[in-house]
Structures are given as C-alpha cells and as structure tokens.
Amino acid sequence: MAAAPLALPRLGFLRRGRPILMRIAQAIPVVVGVVIISFVLTRALPGDPAVYFAGPTADEKSIAEVRAKLGLDKPLPTQFAIYAQDLLKGDLGTSLTTGQPVMEDLARRLPASLELTLAALLLSCAIAVPLGVLAATRPGSWVDHLCRVLVTAGVSMPTFFTGILLIYIFYYLLGWAPSPLGRLDFIYFEPSRVTGFFLVDAVLAGDWETFFAALRQLALPACTLALFTLAPIARMTRAAMLSALSSDFVRTARAAGLTKRKVVYGYALKNALLPVVTTLGMVFSFTLGANVLVEKVFAWPGIGSYAVEALVASDYAAVQGFVLAMALLFVALNLVIDLLYAAIDPRIGFKAR
Amino acid sequence: MLAIDNLRIGFRTRNGHVEAVKGISLAVGSGETMGIVGESGSGKSVTAYALLRILDAGGRIEAGTCVYSGIDLAHAPERQMADVRGREISMIFQNPRAALNPIRKVGHQIEDVLVRHNRAGRNNARSKAIAAMEAVKIRDAAARYHAYPFELSGGMCQRIVIALALACDPRLLIADEPTTGLDITTQKAVMDLVAALIRERGMSSILITHDLGLAAQYCDKITVMKDGVVVETGDAVDVFARPQHAYTRRLVDATPREGATVRSLLPAEARGPDPAYTVRDTALLRVQNLEKTFAGKSGPVHAVKGISFRVRDGETLGLVGESGCGKSTTSAMVVRLADPTSGKILFDGEDIGAVPAKSFARDKRRGKIQMVFQDATDSLNPRHAAGRAIEEPLRRLTDLSARARRDRVAELADLVGLPLHLIDRFPHQLSGGQKARVGIARALGTDPRFLILDEPTAALDVSIQAVVLNLLADLRARLGISYLFVSHDLQVVRLLCDRVVVMRAGEIVEEGEADQVMHAPSHPYTAELIAAAPHPPTLKS
C-alpha cells in the first residue's frame, strides 16, 4: 500500500526494465565461473598445442620456442591473468587453427549455427505444435497415431543418418536440392553483413536471388534438425493439451457454449503453452550444441564443427571462446524464456529476487 | 420445461463399461428449483453434464431423452447444442477458481460468452460484461474486470462464474455443488444471491448438492439419487421431513442439524446410547499468548495474534473459524509442525513450544500428540499399503519388534473398525471412509493422549461423516484421549465437543460450553456463523 504512491508513472519503463537488469546482473557470477572453469578444463585436456603446432618434424628446441611464443611456458595463474585481462578488453585471443582472432571466427560462425537452429526450430514448431494439438483433441485417431509414429521415427534416427538420407533423395536422386556444401553456392556473393544471418541480410539488401539461394541451401539441414527436435515438442504439446482440455475451466467454457475453436485454441492451448515453452528452451540449447553432426554432413560452417576442430587441436583460445559464447547465449535464452513465461502467465510475476 | 426420461449414461473405462446413470426420469417445471441430492458416485453431476452434452471423454448417453422446450438434448445436432449452451441452459460449478481460465482476465472471459451468443459486439462488450458483473453484486466491477482469477477470493470467483453463466439470460441454470469449498458465510451469500437472481429472472434451476439441508432450504423439489438411480422425489419439505425411502431417511439422519446427537446421525438400527467419557479438571494442554507471524509479500502477516486456551484431560475442544482465521496455523503449532513466533504451549505442564518443530520428531513426547489430517486421501502415501501407513509411526517412535508391530497394526485396525483383509490394500483401492479409518488408526498407534483432528470429515459424504464422528466418540470413551477438533462447521463441532473456541482473523472471539455457544452466542460473529449454516425447513408437527 505504502509503495504505490512512490512509483511515479514516468518511471514506469525503468520499473519494468529493472528486473531484467537485475537478472542480467545475477548472471555475472555464472559467466565468471564459466570463464574460470573453461580455462582450467582446457588446460587439463590431454594434448599440447605447442607440440601440435610445431609440426611432426620439430625438435625439442623449436617446440620450446613455440611454447614461449604462445605464452604457455608461464605458470597457470599468470596465463589466466593475461587471459582475463584480454577478455576485459574484448580480446578472445587468436585461434591457432584458423589464424584468425577468435572473436572474428565466432562472429562469422555463430550466426551460421543460430540461423540453422532457429530455422529448424521454427519449422519443427510449425509442425509439432499443430500435430500435438490435433493428437490431443482426437486421442486414438489416425492423427494421434501419425504423431506417435513421427515422434518415434524422429528421435530414433540419428541426425547424420537423416541428413545423408535427405541428401541422397533430394540431391542425388531428385536433384531438387543444391549440393550440400555450406551456406551459399559459390556462384553467389555473400550478402553484406548486418546480422550475419544470410536470409535476413539478403532481405535487408533486397537481394532476393541470394535469399532464395541461401534458403535452398538451408532447407535440407534445417529439415534434418527439425525432424530430430520434433519429438519432444510434439510430445509435450500433446500432453499439456490433454491436461488442459480435461481441466475445469475448459468445461466451463464448453458449458458456456464457446465454439470449439475458441475452447481449444483460445483457452486450452494458451494454458498449455507454458510447458511447451520450457521444452522449447531446452531443445534450443541442446540443439545448438549438438548440431555438429548436421554441420559436418552439410559442410555447414557453424560453431559446432569449429569447436570440435579446436578441441582436437587443443586450440585453447578457440575452445574457451566457444564455451564463453555458449554460456552467454544460454543466459540470454533463459532470460527470454522467463520473459515469455511472464507474458503468457499473469500468475508469474517477473520479479527480481 | 425440462423432462428427462429414462436417461442412461455409460462410460468406457479401462475396466470395461460402467453405467453411471441407470435410467432416471425427472421433470423440472417452469420457474421451479429442483434439487438433486446424492453422495459421491450417485451420478448427479454426470446427469447435469449429459444435459449440456459436455460429458468427459468416454462418456456417452446410451438411452433416453432429455426434452427441453421441444428440443431433445440427448440427440440434438452439435450445432444446435452449441447455441443451447450458455444461452438457454447454463451451468455453474464447484471449485470456482479452477472453473475460470487462470490466464485470462475475468472480464474478458465474460465478454467471450457475450460475443459468442451475439449479445454484444466489439464496441459494447466491455460495458455489457461490467453490467453482468454488477448484476451479481460485484462491487467496483469496472476495476475487477481487469482481475485474473488468482487475484480474487473464492467467493468472488464464484460470483464471476455466476455472472458468466447468467450473462446471456438463460432459462435454466444448473448449479453443480456451487458452494463446496467455500466458507459457510460465503456459501450463504452465494446461495442467497443465486436464489434471488433465479427468482428475479423467473428462471428454472437445478441445484446439485450432497447437502440435503442446503437443498431443502433452497429448492422447491428434491430428487434423491443413489448409484445412478432415483430413489425418491418430491416436495423439498416432504422429502426432508417425511423421507419415504430408507436411503433418504439415512441421509436426513446423517445430516448434522439442530438438536442432533452424535449417535442420532446413525441409522436407527445402529444407534445406541451416546458413549460416556470422563473429563478431569486438570489441564492437559495449555496454550498461552500464542503468536505466529509469517513473512508475506507485502510485509509480515500476523496469522495468530496471541491466543490462549486450555484443553482439559479427556476433554474435546472445538476450534472453529473460516479460512484464514488462523485455526490451521494454531493446530500446526500445537502439533509441533510449525514454530510459534512467541507464546507457550504447555503439554502436561512442560513447554513443548520451546522444542523446535524440526527436532520434535525425535522428542519422546512426539508419540503423545498426534494428528488426523484433513484429506484422508492426500495424507496417505499412495505407494504404501494401509498396514504400512499404520505401522509407520510405530517404526519411528516405538521400539517394537517387527512381529509386535504387526500385532499392533492388527489391533489398531480392529479398534477403528477396518476389516483386516483391507490392510494390504493401497489407498486408491480403499473407499473414503476406509481411508479415514486408516488415518485415525495411524494417529492412535503410539497411544497418544492428545489428538488434533483437522477437519477430519470435510472431504467425506455425510453418511460416512456420521460413521467417522461416531467412531471418534467411541474411541474417546474407550481410550480416554483428548481431542482438539478443528473445523469450519459449528454443527459438526457441536456434536463432539464439550467446549468451543471461535477464531476470527487470528484472535479468539468467543469461548464457552458448546451448547451455550450454539444457543446463546455472545459475539455477533458467532451468531453470524450459526445463522449462515443451512436451515432446512422443519416440519410443523
């Protein structure tokens, strides 16, 4: 009661924005922890980057030289201090495998992965949510069975297999798809970079030819990932819808004569969205990390294959950069999901605690 | 107006086909209020859902007709039914908060119905929704329009549900246990409101309830159902005062009412003299200036504001009040599940309030103070058989051997009248009354001197309630234990208690002998509580 008159209406935006800032502030210790752990873990990995980069013919002396050049001869705390200092300046170091600053590599490759993952999830939701709803409204019908079959097939086939199968059918047999070699056929120029998402950048540049070329390249890998992510989303939608449809408020809505459409989509689905959004967040995070197989199959220059290559080469800067980028992404993702929760359900106040 | 003829409703279940309603017939005249009374499983709600054809999945009308002003509701095409629902016949439900969409503003929910039945367009929907809310006496309706169900009290939610049901001026209103779960004063306010609206608008209505007294007070006619069959139908006063069928008589007998004793709730053939027990004039429990403050969202909540009372050895004290009055917090502190903010709880002269609730489970006095919980189902572990549930306190609090424990479980089951062959069953395989017996047996295992009964019969049908209350009376006489009987229902409390404490907003407003409190309440709030209980018409003999 006493707090109400104090809140000036003009500060409304600040008042709404503050919890978000608080949440971001709460993420700082997480990020610091990630920085430390990723540093320690990469050092604990077997393999010596100095040996790797000095080459197979190098002798002790040249290895030591490389080591000194990389700063790996210094004690660990000193190395960490240097790393942390660079980090504060926004310098993630230089990748030894690509010879580029890690920041630049990530800025190029992260959008590629995000574009693929987001396209896959959009596609997957567009199929899974309606499928789940239909299956829930007609339990035991053919839609329900189709849903079950699709879900089982989706999870039981590994992505690299689905990927290769799709390439075989749509590229090799039918010739509908372009060759599975990266984000854009070499005859097109990359659109000038704004977001790093080729589709978005092409639209911004008004270059529809490039847009469709990029879309064609994206289609098969996105389908492959979508098939894989379909299962959890469709399942959760079905289960959440079944419980929403059997709840008391749906009975009230039916007794009041509301149309079936309104009851199913306006009342039940909105209530069922909460668990679906949770699942979506989880699926998003594991796909982003796990789509390395798809990236490999389609020669997609994404962050997953970058991380694997860096790991194999004990490329410290690149691995640390990757882990940090993922951590920041997850923090942002969780924030978005919390905001979505608050937007869907008025009972969940978005409060700084 | 409505004629149901030989209606049969069946459900497909995992255990095969179940017939829930077995050929019932009844008629509701224009402007008439019909009460359908029955205990759980009687098919009364299913009948109502069938009228609107909103049966749950698997349910089907198998035979019969329900003719409502020329339309056979049982066979009408779905399109026609969609227009009947909400416009011609509408329904209000029990558990009003769950009956509303939790994430949609209540005003919008009323608008949805208005717009659906072409009672409002986009421009005037809001004003019409507010008018519908004002019609059910919601103060400050324009502000409440923007509220979500979770921001409103149970009684207010029920008003919204009523507003929603009446928004399109239906001719027939079906009320399915509209006041179950509401406080007794709220129940009266809601029922009076519904009755007044029905009268004003000249509607017909069907009131579905398990409470014969409530039906007798508000209905013109009563139909009594049992196991899917109509056992008796007639004028409300007649059915209540001169029940023809044996089952109706049992229901009437079991309804706690003015002048009844605990034994008179039972069927005539099972009645005996009220069991005698002795009360000694020594205080077993003394509560002194007990206080409890919770940290709430908007500052501390003062749930219990320094109350004092005592329970004598062998006595039964009733603790009565409506939800939020602090009675549950008090009982949780006395049974040592919650720590008081300040004050003393003297049990047999020792301050048990000083022992933190966390470590009281290992205190030697734990076994002496036990509790029977409100919901017999929820308070049993669904994965433990009845015998295991009864044995649990014996394992924790006594050092009996496995064999001795088994004998003790059998003894306890016998004591509470639980047939021995049932102790291997799981809670879902037991009836409500049997689960209540398990809960009581569990509490008695450690030979307690003091039992806290937290609304032990609130979730039970009246006939089962009668049996359980009698069981408690017998146990008191046999074992000489003291009870603290916590309840919202003065009529039930009166049956068992020597003295009654009435709580409101964390304070004791009245304390006295049960009969005196009931007949000559000194505090206006107590008088209000007594007046709010249903007063079935009595027969002028």
Do B147 and B220 fall into the same domain?
Answer: no
Provide mean pLDDT across the span B172-186. 88
Verify whether the Cβ–Cβ distance B93 to A251 is below 8 Å: yes
HSE of A232, CA atoms in CB hemisphere, 13 A: 17
The share of chain A scoring above pLDDT 70, in percent, equals 93
Residue with tokens 């107006």: B1
Domain count, chain B: 3
Do A68 and A149 fall into the same domain?
Answer: no
> In angstroms, rounded to a whole number, what is the distance separating the alpha carbons of residues A319 and A316?
5
Evaluate the CA torsion angle B46, B252, B476, B324 in order and state its sign.
positive
CATH of the domain at A261: 1.10.3720.10
HSE of A237, CA atoms in CB hemisphere, 13 A: 28
The share of chain B scoring above pLDDT 90, in percent, equals 60
In a domain, B303, yes or no: no
Verify whether the Cβ–Cβ distance A255 to B85 is below 8 Å: yes
> In angstroms, rounded to a whole number, what is the distance separating the alpha carbons of residues A291 and A221?
10
- Contact yes or no for B314/B482 (Cβ under 8 A): yes
Do A80 and A196 fall into the same domain?
Answer: no
Residue ending a domain, among B143, B169, B195, is B169
Q: A260-274 burial, b if ≥16 CB within 10 A, otherwise e?
A: eebbbebbbbbbbbb
Predicted local confidence at residue A255, as pLDDT: 92
In a domain, A6, yes or no: no
Tokens for B430, please give them: 């037991």
Tokens for A141, please give them: 């019908």
> In angstroms, rounded to a whole number, what is the distance separating the alpha carbons of residues A257 and A252?
9
Residue with tokens 């549900």: B161
Residue ending a domain, among B233, B255, B277, is B255
Do B165 and B131 fall into the same domain?
Answer: yes
> In angstroms, rounded to a whole number, what is the distance separating the alpha carbons of residues A110 and B339?
54
Cα–chain center distance at B186: 13
Chain segment B271-280, per-residue pLDDT in tens = 888 888 888 8
Listed residue (A144, A350, A336, A345) closest to A241, CA to CA: A144
Predicted local confidence at residue B9, as pLDDT: 93
In a domain, A105, yes or no: no
Do B133 and B246 fall into the same domain?
Answer: no
Do A78 and A121 fall into the same domain?
Answer: no
Residues 6+ away with beta carbon under 8 Å from A282: A232
Evaluate if residue B160 carries a pLDDT over 60. yes
> In angstroms, rounded to a whole number, what is the distance separating the alpha carbons of residues A296 and A160?
8
- Contact yes or no for B61/B11 (Cβ under 8 A): no
Do B390 and B487 fall into the same domain?
Answer: yes
Q: How far is CA A100 from CA A19, A118, A313, B507, in A?
A: 38, 26, 15, 74
Tokens for B375, please give them: 């919901």
Residue ending a domain, among B138, B169, B200, is B169
> In angstroms, rounded to a whole number, what is the distance separating the alpha carbons of residues B503 and B304?
10
- Closest-CA distance of chain A to residue B59, Å: 13
Task: Write out chain A residues lying below 8 Å of B54, CB-based.
Answer: 251, 254-255
Do A180 and A79 fall into the same domain?
Answer: no
Residue with tokens 């509220």: B147
- Contact yes or no for A251/B93 (Cβ under 8 A): yes
Please report the number of interchain residue pairs, chain A to chain B, with beta-carbon separation below 8 angstroms.
82
Best probe of the B interface among A1, A144, A249, by most B CBs < 10 A, is A249
Q: What is the mean pLDDT of chain A?
A: 84
Best probe of the B interface among A1, A137, A141, A252, by most B CBs < 10 A, is A252
In a domain, B132, yes or no: yes
Provide mean pLDDT across the span A73-95. 86
Listed residue (B541, B517, B516, B539) closest to B528, CA to CA: B517
Evaluate if residue A41 carries a pLDDT over 70. yes
Do B53 and B193 fall into the same domain?
Answer: yes
Verify whether the Cβ–Cβ distance B112 to A258 is below 8 Å: yes
> In angstroms, rounded to a whole number, what is the distance separating the alpha carbons of residues B511 and B517?
7
Verify whether the Cβ–Cβ distance A256 to B85 is below 8 Å: yes
Do B209 and B162 fall into the same domain?
Answer: no
Q: Which of B56, B85, B103 sits opposite A257 (nearest CB)?
A: B85
- Closest-CA distance of chain A to residue B98, Å: 6
Predicted local confidence at residue A15, as pLDDT: 56
Predicted local confidence at residue A350, as pLDDT: 54
Evaluate if residue B541 carries a pLDDT over 70. no
Provide mean pLDDT across the span B170-195. 90
Do A150 and A299 fall into the same domain?
Answer: yes
In a domain, A245, yes or no: yes
> In angstroms, rounded to a whole number, what is the distance separating the alpha carbons of residues B205 and B30?
9
Verify whether the Cβ–Cβ distance A249 to B116 is below 8 Å: no
Q: How confident is the model at residue A1 (pLDDT cuts 50, 70, 90)?
A: very low
Provide mean pLDDT across the span B325-342. 91
For chain A, the residues whose C-beta falls within 8 A of a C-beta of chain B are: 1, 139, 246-249, 251-259, 262, 266-267, 270-271, 344-347
Provide mean pLDDT across the span A13-26. 71
DSSP label at residue B277: -
> In angstroms, rounded to a whole number, what is the distance separating the alpha carbons of residues A67 and A74?
9
Chain segment B86-126, per-residue pLDDT in tens = 999 999 998 888 999 999 999 999 999 999 998 888 889 99
Do B379 and B466 fall into the same domain?
Answer: yes
- Of residues A312 and B444, more confidence is placed in B444
Chain segment B48-70, per-residue pLDDT in tens = 999 999 988 788 899 999 999 88
- Residue B289, number of CB atoms within 10 A of its CB: 13
Evaluate if residue A6 carries a pLDDT over 60. no
In a domain, B105, yes or no: yes
At residue A139, what are phi and psi to the nearest 5 degrees? -60, 135
Rama region for B506: left / alpha / beta (φ>0; ψ in -120 to 50; rest): left
Range of the domain at A128: 110-344
Identify any residues that bridge with B3 across adjacent strands, giving them in sequence order.
B27, B67
Listed residue (A150, A151, A146, A124) closest to A135, CA to CA: A146
> In angstroms, rounded to a whole number, what is the distance separating the alpha carbons of residues B424 and B81?
48
At residue B188, what are phi and psi to the nearest 5 degrees? -65, -45
- Closest-CA distance of chain B to residue A82, Å: 46
Is beta strand B499-504 parallel, antiparallel or unpaired with respect to B229-235? unpaired
Provide mean pLDDT across the span B15-34. 91
DSSP label at residue A168: I
Task: Write out chain A residues lying below 8 Å of B85, CB-based.
Answer: 254-257
Do B313 and B199 fall into the same domain?
Answer: no
Do A154 and A293 fall into the same domain?
Answer: yes
Do B215 and B246 fall into the same domain?
Answer: yes
Chain segment B436-491, per-residue pLDDT in tens = 999 999 999 999 999 999 988 887 888 889 999 999 999 999 999 999 999 988 88
Task: Write out chain A residues lying below 8 Å of B164, CB-based.
Answer: 252, 256
Chain segment A317-337, per-residue pLDDT in tens = 888 888 888 888 888 888 888
In a domain, A270, yes or no: yes
Length of chain B: 541
Task: Write out chain B residues lying below 8 Å of A249, CB-based.
Answer: 98-102
The share of chain B scoring above pLDDT 70, in percent, equals 99
Task: Write out chain B residues lying below 8 Å of A266, CB-based.
Answer: 112
Do A53 and A114 fall into the same domain?
Answer: no
Residue ending a domain, among A57, A88, A119, is A88
Chain segment B488-525, per-residue pLDDT in tens = 888 888 899 999 999 999 999 999 999 899 889 999 99
- Contact yes or no for B147/B120 (Cβ under 8 A): no
CATH of the domain at B234: 3.40.50.300
Do B112 and B234 fall into the same domain?
Answer: no
Do A67 and A191 fall into the same domain?
Answer: no
In a domain, B155, yes or no: yes
In a domain, A155, yes or no: yes
Q: How confident is the model at residue B410 (pLDDT cuts 50, 70, 90)?
A: very high
Chain segment A123-170, per-residue pLDDT in tens = 999 999 999 999 998 888 888 898 888 888 888 888 888 888 999 999
ipTM of this predicted structure? 0.83
Domain count, chain A: 2
Verify whether the Cβ–Cβ distance B54 to A270 is below 8 Å: no
Q: Which of B95, B99, B116 sits opposite A258 (nearest CB)?
A: B116
- Contact yes or no for B93/B161 (Cβ under 8 A): yes
Evaluate if residue A43 carries a pLDDT over 90. no
- Closest-CA distance of chain B to residue A343, Å: 10
Nearest CA in chain A to B94: A248
Evaluate if residue A13 carries a pLDDT over 70. no
Q: How far is CA A217 from CA A168, A184, A202, B442, B506, in A?
A: 15, 6, 14, 68, 70
Evaluate the CA torsion angle A147, A149, A153, A155 in order and state its sign.
positive
Provide mean pLDDT across the span A313-317. 83
Q: How confident is the model at residue A5 (pLDDT cuts 50, 70, 90)?
A: very low
Verify whether the Cβ–Cβ distance A270 to B103 is below 8 Å: yes
Report DSSP letters for B200-233, one per residue.
HHT-EEEEEES-HHHHHHH-SEEEEEETTEEEEE
Verify whether the Cβ–Cβ distance B116 to A254 is below 8 Å: no
Predicted local confidence at residue A228, as pLDDT: 87
Do A172 and A127 fall into the same domain?
Answer: yes
Listed residue (B234, B224, B219) closest to B32, CA to CA: B219
Q: Which of B100, B103, B113 sits opposite A345 (nearest CB)?
A: B103
Q: Which of B93, B100, B102 sits opposite A347 (nearest CB)?
A: B102
Residues 6+ away with beta carbon under 8 Å from B386: B380, B413, B418, B422, B423, B424, B425, B426, B427, B430, B434, B438
Predicted local confidence at residue A339, as pLDDT: 84
- Closest-CA distance of chain B to residue A345, Å: 6
Per mean pLDDT, which range of A167-171, A220-224, B179-183, B501-505 is the poorest? B179-183
Do A58 and A155 fall into the same domain?
Answer: no
Do B376 and B474 fall into the same domain?
Answer: yes
Do A211 and A311 fall into the same domain?
Answer: yes
- Contact yes or no for A284/A121 (Cβ under 8 A): yes
Predicted local confidence at residue A347, as pLDDT: 81
Helix, coil or strand: residue B6: strand
Do A336 and A258 fall into the same domain?
Answer: yes
Task: Write out chain B residues lying below 8 Å of A256, CB-based.
Answer: 85-86, 90, 112-113, 116, 164-165
Evaluate if residue B149 carries a pLDDT over 70. yes
In a domain, B464, yes or no: yes
Tokens for B292, please give them: 């409890």
Predicted local confidence at residue B414, as pLDDT: 92
Evaluate if residue B232 carries a pLDDT over 70. yes
Q: How confident is the model at residue B385 (pLDDT cuts 50, 70, 90)?
A: very high
Helix, coil or strand: residue B68: strand
Do B451 and B515 fall into the same domain?
Answer: yes
Provide mean pLDDT across the span B375-392. 91
DSSP H/E element including B13: strand B2-13
Evaluate if residue A4 carries a pLDDT over 70. no
Range of the domain at B398: 308-328+360-532
Per mean pLDDT, which range of A247-251, A286-290, B354-358 is the poorest? A286-290
Q: What is the mean pLDDT of chain B?
A: 90
Residue with tokens 């609304």: B455
